[in-house]
Structure 1
Amino acid sequence: MAMTALGRSDLLFDPSRRRTVIAQLAEPAYASELASLFDRGYDHMARELGDSDPSRVLMRLVPLGHRVESFSPLRARVAVWQVLLLGAPGGRVVASWSTSRADLVWTKGGWRVARFTSDEPGPGPTVTNAATATPSEVFLARLAGLAPFSR
């Protein structure tokens, strides 16, 4: 899935690797625009993380649900509800809930992203008790050794 393939911490500080992934996922006519879009987003997140050790950054984009909004044999639009977890030791671990939409086209290589539309916030759950938030060092330590499900 294109959205989760681009939501990885190893791409946060490595634009060349990011472009390789984008080339695999995007329709060639959209690849440059998509790379620019993700460069801006990743640069913003990197600034938020400051001088964090890249190997200790948590970044996981987790799809929670999807909906096919339109479909033909050559084109489709899908909506994906997801949560992005981002954090590093010494900072906060934040969760960002959003719904993303992608226009896809069928090519001889399979489905490719022709366009992402702007993310919509949420829907997001209510935090029952903000005082119970796990400190970032503990949060990251508890995740050590846990890998995301395969993509």
Structure 2
Amino acid sequence: MTALARPELLFDPTRRRAVARQVADPSYAGELADLFDRGYDHMVRELGGSDPSQVLLRLVPLGHRVESFSPARARVAVWQVLLIGAPGGRVVASWSTSRADLVWGRGGWRVAGFTSDEPGPGPTVTNAATATPPEVFVARLDGLAPFTR
């Protein structure tokens, strides 16, 4: 996921598709590229005419959980925050949990599918009305291990 969330990919669909081919199983590469094209196109519209060199785009994985595993397939949940912003606008933090289906092949794990992101849990210190309630926040984090890299 972090390979596909880089600011230089916002304005370069050709490079974005190349990265999708690198991380995806060949049977899913086209669909993954289309999925990320739609997401990036939306972000570009939101950023307006921002200078690409001044755009902040960071996907930070915060925790993960292996939800199923076999030697050939796995499903992994990743709790993450996406930060996006540009000069003259505000920086938005989007909290979500993504699930990736992975297959073993071509010398490593490859993405074979994504399920729809689940919003949150989303902590906030500035607007308690938008925060995930504490009991829901803790429940959604159950079983997530922190990333160590």
**What residue in structure 1 maps to residue 93 of structure 2?**
95
Q: Aligned partners of 2:110 and 2:90: how far apart in 1?
A: 35
Q: In the TM superposition, what is the alpha-carbon distance from 1:105 to its structure 2 partner?
A: 0.2
Written as runs of structure 1 = structure 2, the 5 A alignment for 1:11-90 is: 11-90=9-88
Which blocks of at least 5 consecutive residues in structure 1 are unaligned? 131-150
**Are 1:112 and 2:110 matched, yes or no?**
yes
Q: Aligned partners of 1:30 and 1:73: how far apart in 2?
A: 19
CA distances 1:15-56 after superposition (whole Å, capped 9, x unpaired) = 011011111100011011111111000000000000000000
Total equivalences in the alignment:
129
**What residue in structure 2 maps to residue 146 of structure 1?**
none
Q: Percent identity?
A: 84
* TM-score (normalised: structure 1): 0.82
**What residue in structure 2 maps to residue 5 of structure 1?**
3
* TM-score (normalised: structure 2): 0.84
Q: In the TM superposition, what is the alpha-carbon distance from 1:9 to its structure 2 partner?
A: 0.6
Q: Aligned partners of 2:87 and 2:79: how far apart in 1?
A: 27
Structure 1 moving runs of 4+ over 6 Å:
none
